[in-house]
Amino acid sequence: MQFLVSLEPSVVILEPTRTYSRFWIDCLHREGIPVLKVDQTMIKDTRKSYGGTSNKSDPYDALLMVATYFQHYQIAYDRRYWVRERPPEVAKIEQCLRDIGSFNKRRTQVINQAKSRLVYEFPAKAKVRALKESGKLDPDKLPAWWAWACGWTEQGTWRIPKATKTKFDNEYAKAIAAGEGTGISEVTARLAQQICMWHQSEAMVEQELLSYLNLPEFDCYHRVFDKFGFGCRERGWLLTRCVPFDEMFKCLPKSKAMRRFRQLCGLGATQVQSGQYIYNLVITGKLGKIYTNSHLF
């Protein structure tokens, strides 16, 4: 970083490769150096069109980014080549949502593995489901059955209700006495513990997400979201796509503004013509658009 600062660059251009690029972007901002984030898809397509190959080379990519800066930023600005800057609060909302999605994916893998073992260890609970309500998760309130399965009966102010624990104990004892399963193994109990820990992690990040969503600058958006009954995660994904909303008014006429909004939400249609056939495809493209699309529908 000291070497970069010593060069006194007027701007730094980079590909936003998730968490790795985040470190460099934060460091450069602290040093007061402007940062432009180039669209990775556009660079990939440009690399192939100029070089005739999809082979990736860091020196060649650096040259392409410099050429892109002069051609599509200095000479004639083209928004397609650049990742737009968003308010810090919106970036934090997106990070929370991505973390929640990552936690959900890993927890689902552990749940599936645990259920595959319960088929012969405790068949009566091989299809157990833990219901959760988005926006109301509590790190201290664990999924009751999985907590019971690993012996995690209390957390903070939360306790498994005595009646619920007695019910689980009796069901398990009755099943084992009847020969319906080999009994919950230590491995399955550890998997149940992991499920509870992933639940805690998701709840903690969701509470952080709610703190950002409740900021006063988003009140005008929430008044619209309330009319559609969107949950907190749907609201979060929409905010990451359409804030600041003023950008939509830069697109004239209104038909283009609406098309821009649909594209940002992952609902943009692309027309495909082949001979006598003409049809439209809804192409989501970027990950943020895919998540927004899936949460809305």
The pLDDT tens digits for 185-194 are 999 999 999 9
Cβ–Cβ contacts within 10 Å for residue 179, how many?
Answer: 7
Q: Is the dihedral of CA 145, 147, 148, 150 positive or negative?
A: positive
Residue 278's DSSP bridge partners are 273
Q: What is the pLDDT of residue 257?
A: 73
Q: Is the dihedral of CA 236, 91, 76, 50 positive or negative?
A: negative
Name the helix (H) or strand (E) containing 150: none
**Confidence check: pLDDT of 276 > 90:** no
**Confidence check: pLDDT of 280 > 60:** no
Question: Where does the pLDDT of residue 195 fall: very low under 50, low under 70, confident under 90, or very high at 90 and above?
Answer: very high
User: What's the pTM?
Assistant: 0.77
Question: Where does the pLDDT of residue 270 fall: very low under 50, low under 70, confident under 90, or very high at 90 and above?
Answer: low
Tell me the three state secondary structure of residue 8: coil
Question: Where does the pLDDT of residue 209 fall: very low under 50, low under 70, confident under 90, or very high at 90 and above?
Answer: very high
**Confidence check: pLDDT of 264 > 60:** yes
For residue 294, the one-letter residue type is S
Top pLDDT among 260 and 238 is at 238
Which has the minimum average pLDDT: 40-54, 90-104, 131-145, 225-239? 40-54
Name the helix (H) or strand (E) containing 196: helix 186-213
Region 195-216 average pLDDT: 94
Tokens encoding 157:
């102010």
25-56 b/e with 16+ CB inside 10 Å = b? beebeeeebebbbbbeebbeebbeeeeeeeee
Q: Is the dihedral of CA 67, 71, 75, 80 positive or negative?
A: negative
Q: What is the pLDDT of residue 281?
A: 52
**Confidence check: pLDDT of 234 > 80:** yes
Top pLDDT among 268 and 108 is at 108
**Confidence check: pLDDT of 255 > 80:** no
Question: Where does the pLDDT of residue 215 fall: very low under 50, low under 70, confident under 90, or very high at 90 and above?
Answer: very high
Region 30-56 average pLDDT: 81
Q: What is the pLDDT of residue 253?
A: 67
Region 213-231 average pLDDT: 92
Q: What is the pLDDT of residue 284?
A: 47
Tokens encoding 79:
């928004």
Tokens encoding 42:
């556009």
Region 171-196 average pLDDT: 93
User: Which percentage of the chain shows pLDDT scores above 90?
Assistant: 36
Question: Where does the pLDDT of residue 277 fall: very low under 50, low under 70, confident under 90, or very high at 90 and above?
Answer: low
**Confidence check: pLDDT of 197 > 80:** yes
How far is Cα 245 from Cα 106, in angstroms, rounded to an integer?
34
Of 196, 124, 115, which is closest to residue 158 (Cα–Cα)?
196
